[in-house]
Amino acid sequence: MHIPDGYLGPSTYGSLWAVMLGVWSYASRRVQREIKASQAPHLAMASAFSFVVMIIAVPLPGGTTAHVTGATLVAILLGPWAAVIAVSVALMIQSLVFGDGGITALAANCFNISFASSLAGYATYRIFVGIAGRFSAKDASSPEESGLPGRTLQIAATGVSSYVGINIAALLTALELGLQPLIYGTGQAGNGYFPYGLGVTLPAVVLPHLTLVGALEGIVAAAVVGFMRKGRMNIKYAGTAAFIIAALVIFQASGAYAHDFLIEQKGQELLLVYGHGAQAMEFEESKIVQLRAIDTEGKELAVQKEHRYKALLLKIAGQPASVMAEIDNGYWSKTIYGWKELPRRKASRVVEAIRSLYFTRTLLSWSGGVQDASGATRLEIVPMADPFVLKPGDQLPVKVLGSGKPLSGIEVIGFDHAKRGTTDKEGIIKVPLTKGINLVTVEYKEKIKDDPDADALSLTATLTFEVK
């Protein structure tokens, strides 16, 4: 449901920006009046929860994906205007940091998910408990103080209202996209905005939400409230429970961002893997462009490979000091449904297309021959000192080279996916060392002009070594 840049015309997204600026202003004033200072952390927790659940994509028929939002749940727990602020913050972070949803379309996404979905879901919840309360001996509008009937009512109302809320957001998304050809036309005359009309967008977006996604949204929301009620926790502190659930999901999902090609040492064996540890994934052997091993004198050693479960065993004739691998990971297209391993011409609704190359290197010992072998690949991380004589806490200077030339201003990432800094004008940065396996990663993009299947060449280089 995240609309990317380029799909809505200026009059559409401009109008929604004007609407949302007013909504955010009003919501901020309401939150200031209604949310006490002691409850402010719950607002942040609710935003974190919404952010996490929107990251997790649900596969749909036809190769598309969707996600739950948690907007109605937050509205029920903290109020509809607090939900507008919390979910808007989550959408802003996704757009600005992760590129999930366009910047020009940010107001449209916030209007659909944080505003319309939250208020529609909350209104449905109040109507549901109001009507059902007439048939209950106790005040169903205050289910915190009721027994089993109140608890059952609250869970059911949360599930139904969450189903309604996400389907309102889906309907608005389909309408905004489907109206673009009517407003701007199609093709060159339409300036390249979303080309499919309502006959396509309504069934494509609404039907999956009326069935699978809406049911999932309701189940997740009802499960959170059920968990709160079972634990006899006050509904006002549900944000804390939501944050705990979000943290667990983040922990489980963090591996999704850890898939690089690496050469790992397991005892006396060297393995080429895609990912790390339990997060390793299968990959096609045909993607390997070259394998290279050198000894301490810089002499080339023969390398043979043998398939292992989710890995390739590297058999090297001799004692290697450094082992390198180059992998062509093929074409990938970022679509409105997520990343697909397809070239641009075979993917649909493409936002960005890349060709992905990996260059991974592991150091086993140090010598002048190891340094002399640098500069042989398109992207490389070269240690400027012997890392095996350093201790945990010391800093190792490394140089980032692109086709043998220093690259300045390149972000360098450590083993825990934390940013270590950027390279200076000489392409050098000092990275802190930790005990055990150290991983240094850099990513670099080059624009492509003559490839119809990719906009850019995405280069990733990794360097691993062990500090004892």
Overall size of the chain counted in residues: 468
Query: In this model, does residue 235 exceed pLDDT 50?
Result: no
Q: Which pLDDT band holds residue 16 (cuts at 50, 70, 90)?
A: very high
β pairing state of 419-422 and 411-413? antiparallel
CB 174 within 8 A of CB 31: no
- The per-residue pLDDT for range 407-438, each reduced to its tens digit, is 999 999 886 667 888 999 999 999 999 888 89
Q: Which pLDDT band holds residue 224 (cuts at 50, 70, 90)?
A: confident
- Taking the model in full, what pTM does it have? 0.54
Most confident listed range (16-25, 256-265, 332-341): 16-25
Q: Which pLDDT band holds residue 371 (cuts at 50, 70, 90)?
A: low
- The per-residue pLDDT for range 52-88, each reduced to its tens digit, is 778 766 665 544 567 888 899 999 988 899 999 999 9
Q: How far is CA 291 from the centre of its chain?
A: 31
The span from the CA of 318 to the CA of 62, in Å, is 50
C-alpha to C-alpha distances, 168 to 55, 81, 160, 429, 439, nearest whole angstrom: 20, 17, 13, 50, 45
Q: Which two tokens stand for residue 130?
A: 């109001």
Q: Which pLDDT band holds residue 220 (cuts at 50, 70, 90)?
A: confident
Query: In this model, does residue 122 exceed pLDDT 90?
Result: yes
The span from the CA of 155 to the CA of 151, in Å, is 6
- The per-residue pLDDT for range 186-208, each reduced to its tens digit, is 644 445 677 788 988 898 889 88
Q: Which pLDDT band holds residue 316 (cuts at 50, 70, 90)?
A: very high
C-alpha to C-alpha distances, 264 to 56, 376, 390, nearest whole angstrom: 29, 21, 20
The span from the CA of 278 to the CA of 96, in Å, is 30
> Which range among 27-41, 224-238, 255-269, 300-314 shows the weakest confidence by mean pLDDT?
224-238
Query: In this model, does residue 232 exceed pLDDT 60?
Result: no
**CA torsion angle for 73, 78, 82, 84 (degrees, to 10)?**
10
pLDDT of the residue at 325:
94
Residue 209 makes CB contacts below 8 A (sequence gap 6+) with 66, 166, 167, 170
Give the per-residue SS3 of 110-139. Answer: HHHHHHHHHHHHHHHHHHHHHHHHCCCCCC
For the 10-256 domain, the top CATH level (class) is: mainly alpha
pLDDT of the residue at 46:
79
pLDDT of the residue at 248:
47
Return the SS3 of 412: strand
Query: In this model, does residue 51 exceed pLDDT 70?
Result: yes
Query: In this model, does residue 48 exceed pLDDT 80?
Result: no
Domain extents in the chain: 10-256, 258-467
pLDDT of the residue at 15:
94
E strand or H helix at 406 = strand 405-406
The mean pLDDT of 262-289, rounded to a whole number, is: 82
- The per-residue pLDDT for range 89-110, each reduced to its tens digit, is 999 988 887 767 889 999 999 9
> Which range among 165-169, 226-230, 299-303, 405-409 shows the weakest confidence by mean pLDDT?
226-230
Picking from 281, 282, 298, 362, the residue whose alpha carbon sits closest to that of residue 325 is 362
pLDDT of the residue at 374:
63
pLDDT of the residue at 5:
82
> Which range among 8-17, 182-191, 236-245, 279-288 shows the weakest confidence by mean pLDDT?
236-245
C-alpha to C-alpha distances, 116 to 79, 87, 164, 308, 386, nearest whole angstrom: 14, 11, 11, 51, 59
Residue 394 makes CB contacts below 8 A (sequence gap 6+) with 432, 433
Query: In this model, does residue 125 exceed pLDDT 90?
Result: yes
Is pLDDT larger for residue 125 or for residue 232?
A: 125
Q: Which pLDDT band holds residue 399 (cuts at 50, 70, 90)?
A: very high
pLDDT of the residue at 255:
38
